[in-house]
């Protein structure tokens, strides 16, 4: 029996619809993220007083990411819309969509690759280079990266660099954006069965007016040791050089922690020390360690009072003693409770009372968080934090009539579909 042309084309179309996905879906994926978060802020980042009112709002991140992988290269393009509910009127059409990532990675050899474009730079536990995924916009860089991966020797090496311009130019290289002008780094990691060690050397340069960039140098190591249920971690970094605001930098930091995991409970105790300038220092900021491009939300308390040790402590540095607990209720539900005690790392003069030395105590913070995954694609997270500030923190923030307790609460829904699954 002869088939008509429409029937033939229809059968061919159905056949192609069956065959093409089976060939392409292994190299092509399309996923998304819908992430609204409601927040109640009554002491988040800045101390509340008798004269302040709490803030309540909903922010939202909507992201779609395309991944493609071929034999010799792979690509990712990720666009996102970040907004606060109500920041655009009903009939207004403001452009909000931007590119979060747009990169390609070319395989030069079985162990060597080149990655270039807009990308996240995430290393170790994100102590100095992280994506800051908690913020709705997150962080990404325009950079080129040379990657070496030797799985047999369990060695990884990355050499990265960036040179920023604010527009296409005919002459000159003056950079007007509040960002680094030049970034370069070397990261090396070696893994054994129970022990990981990585070293990082990073240089970032900043322009001041039409002057040539001034460079800051950060270098150190990250050590991790696993022994059955016990995990020990040590981090040690130094800073030198100068940048647009500070000269003759001489700063350092170290962090020590121990985690003990006895299912369903994990306990972590640790201490972080970021150096600061003393009261007799004419320019204390030069002795204050900068955490560069880190994900500080995961380290120094969820209420984000110390995202930038340079400005948030006015050059006094930071000490953070903490105890963290995580309880796995079941495969879908986790409850975490963290305690932080914050203190200056150096004696600091009061910015409000000339000649007075501040007490190093900055306050204590308690963070409670809950996460529950309904399905592979749907998760709900919530948290509530309380800060007990000291008089020193009040003086550093130039706040008076401060309440005894600072509050912050949030609820976040996360839906992450794989559109082609």
3-state helix, strand, coil in the chain (%, to 5): 10, 50, 40
Q: Mean pLDDT throughout 219-235? A: 96
**Omega cis (within 30) before 53:** no
What whole-number distance in Å separates Cα of residue 368 and Cα of residue 336? 6
pLDDT at 20 over 90: no
Between 283 and 172, the more confident residue is: 172
Burial class from Cβ neighbours inside 10 Å (0-12, 13-18, 19+) for residue 336 reads middle
What whole-number distance in Å separates Cα of residue 320 and Cα of residue 273? 7
Q: Which CATH architecture has domain 26-172+182-415?
A: Beta Barrel (2.40)
What whole-number distance in Å separates Cα of residue 402 and Cα of residue 391? 9
DSSP for 62-91 reads EEEEEEEE-SSEEEEEEEEEEEETTSS-TT
Q: What is the pLDDT of residue 282?
A: 66
Least confident among 110-119, 167-176, 244-253 = 244-253
Q: Which tokens go with 243? A: 């940048």
| Residue pLDDT, tens place only, 389-413 | 999 999 999 999 999 999 999 999 9
Q: What is the pLDDT of residue 23?
A: 47
Look over the chain and give the mean of its residue pLDDT values, rounded to a whole number. 92
| Residue pLDDT, tens place only, 173-194 | 889 898 999 999 999 999 999 9
pLDDT at 245 over 80: no
Query: Cβ distance 222 to 255 under 8 Å?
Result: no
pLDDT at 1 over 50: no
Share of the chain above pLDDT 90, in %: 80
Q: Give 113's Cβ-side CA count (13 Å radius).
A: 18
Confidence (pTM):
0.90
Q: What is the pLDDT of residue 13?
A: 57
Q: Helix, strand, or coil here: 373? A: strand
Residues written for the chain: 421
| Residue pLDDT, tens place only, 320-370 | 999 999 999 999 999 999 999 999 999 998 888 888 899 999 999 999 999
Of 246, 234, 247, 319, residue with least CA distance to 276: 319
Q: What is the pLDDT of residue 4?
A: 55
Query: Cβ distance 367 to 374 under 8 Å?
Result: no
DSSP class of 12: H
Q: What is the pLDDT of residue 189?
A: 98
Q: Which tokens go with 391? A: 């008089």
Q: What is the pLDDT of residue 242?
A: 86
Q: What is the pLDDT of residue 90?
A: 86
Between 93 and 408, the more confident residue is: 408
Name residue, tokens 């309380």: 386
Q: What is the pLDDT of residue 68?
A: 95
Q: What is the pLDDT of residue 354?
A: 84
DSSP for 286-309 reads GGSPP-TB--GGGTS-TT-TTS-H
**Ranges of each domain in the chain:** 26-172+182-415
| Residue pLDDT, tens place only, 25-76 | 458 999 999 999 999 999 999 999 999 999 999 999 999 999 999 999 999 9
What whole-number distance in Å separates Cα of residue 46 and Cα of residue 192? 44
Of 310, 299, 307, residue with least CA distance to 46: 307
The radius of gyration computed from the CA coordinates of the chain, to the nearest angstrom, equals 25
Q: What is the pLDDT of residue 108?
A: 96
Name residue, tokens 């990250």: 222
Q: What is the pLDDT of residue 5?
A: 52
pLDDT at 237 over 80: yes
Of 132, 106, 103, residue with least CA distance to 119: 103
pLDDT at 85 over 70: yes
pLDDT at 420 over 60: yes
DSSP class of 284: G
Q: What is the pLDDT of residue 17?
A: 55
| Residue pLDDT, tens place only, 119-168 | 999 999 999 999 999 999 999 999 999 999 999 999 999 999 999 999 99
Q: How many helices (H) and strands (E) does the chain have?
A: 3, 18
pLDDT band for position 209 (cuts 50, 70, 90): confident
Query: Cβ distance 302 to 383 under 8 Å?
Result: yes
Q: Partners of 272 in the beta sheet?
A: 255, 320
């Amino acid at each position: 029996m002869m088939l008509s042309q429409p029937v033939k084309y229809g059968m061919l179309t159905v056949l192609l619809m069956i065959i093409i996905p089976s060939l392409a879906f292994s190299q092509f994926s399309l996923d998304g993220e819908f992430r609204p978060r409601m927040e109640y802020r009554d002491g988040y980042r800045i101390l509340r007083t008798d004269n302040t009112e709490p803030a309540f709002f909903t922010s939202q991140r909507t992201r779609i990411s395309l991944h493609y992988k071929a034999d010799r290269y792979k690509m990712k393009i990720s666009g996102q819309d970040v907004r606060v509910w109500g920041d655009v009127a009903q009939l207004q059409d403001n452009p909000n969509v931007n590119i979060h990532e747009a990169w390609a990675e070319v395989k030069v050899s079985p162990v060597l690759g080149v990655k270039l474009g807009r990308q996240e730079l995430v290393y170790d536990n994100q102590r100095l280079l992280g994506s800051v995924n908690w913020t709705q916009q997150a962080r990404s860089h325009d950079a080129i990266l040379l990657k070496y991966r030797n799985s047999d020797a369990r060695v990884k090496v990355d050499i990265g660099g960036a040179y920023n311009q604010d527009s296409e130019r005919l002459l000159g290289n003056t950079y007007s954006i509040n960002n680094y002008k030049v970034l370069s780094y070397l990261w090396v990691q070696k893994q054994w069965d129970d022990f990981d060690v990585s070293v990082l050397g990073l240089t970032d340069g900043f322009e001041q007016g039409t002057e040539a960039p001034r460079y800051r140098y950060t270098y150190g190591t990250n050590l991790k040791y696993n022994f059955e249920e016990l995990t020990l971690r040590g981090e040690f970094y130094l800073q030198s050089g100068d940048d647009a605001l500070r000269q003759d930098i001489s700063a350092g930091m170290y962090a020590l922690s121990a985690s003990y995991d006895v299912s369903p409970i994990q306990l972590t105790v640790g201490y972080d020390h970021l150096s600061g300038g003393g009261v007799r220092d004419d320019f204390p900021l030069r002795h204050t360690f900068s955490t560069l491009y880190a994900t500080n939300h995961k380290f120094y308390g969820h209420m984000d009072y110390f995202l930038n040790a340079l400005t948030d402590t006015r050059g006094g540095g930071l000490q953070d003693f903490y105890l963290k607990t995580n309880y796995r209720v079941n495969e879908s539900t986790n409850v975490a409770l963290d305690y932080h005690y914050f203190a200056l790392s150096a004696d600091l003069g009061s910015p409000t009372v000339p000649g007075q030395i501040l007490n190093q105590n900055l306050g204590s913070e308690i963070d409670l968080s809950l996460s529950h995954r309904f399905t592979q694609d749907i998760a709900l997270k919530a948290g509530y934090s309380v800060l007990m500030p000291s008089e020193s923190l009040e003086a550093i923030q130039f706040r008076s009539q401060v309440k005894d307790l600072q509050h912050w609460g949030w609820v976040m829904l996360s839906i992450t579909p794989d559109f082609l699954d």
